[in-house]
Amino acid sequence: MELMTKELEVTLPALYETENIKTNNKILRVKYIAVNSSWEWYLVEYNKDTKIAFGYVIGQEYEWGYFSLKEFEELNKDGLSIIKDKTFQPIEFMELKNDYHRLKI
């Protein structure tokens, strides 16, 4: 499965482009899931040259941070399956907080 399409890539804000937007109003644009675990990554900003993304991560902790789609591709080659959630629709972070009452935010 393709983690990033060219069509999607051109629509995403560049890294640091949304830093003046309040956290609750940041738009989570893409969701990635580790199939064999409970980890989730929500992409907000993206650098197409480095394949580095900034967004919200749900794993052992709940936190904002950077993650690498290049590393995801490498992990997929090694048998770990990280996929793009095809059903996910972009939402504001506040909506995710409201929808996921399990989050410790």
Tens digit of pLDDT for each residue in 66-87? 999 999 988 877 667 899 999 9
> Is residue 35's pLDDT more than 80?
yes
Residue 103 has pLDDT above 60, yes or no: no
Task: Determine the pLDDT at residue 32.
Answer: 96
> What pLDDT is recorded for position 40?
95
Q: Of 25, 39, 49, which Cα lies nearest the Cα of 80?
A: 39
| pLDDT for the residue numbered 19 | 96
Is pLDDT above 90 for 61? no
Q: Measured on CA atoms in the order 71, 16, 14, 45, is the torsion positive or negative? A: positive
Strand partners, 27: 92
Q: Convert 58-72 into a string of H (helix), E (strand) and C (coil).
A: ECCCEEEEEEEHHHH
- Stretch 3-29: mean pLDDT, rounded? 96
25 phi and psi angles, rounded to 5 deg: -100, 0
pLDDT of residue 80: 72
Each residue of 42-53: b (16+ CB within 10 Å) or e?
bbbbbbeeebbb
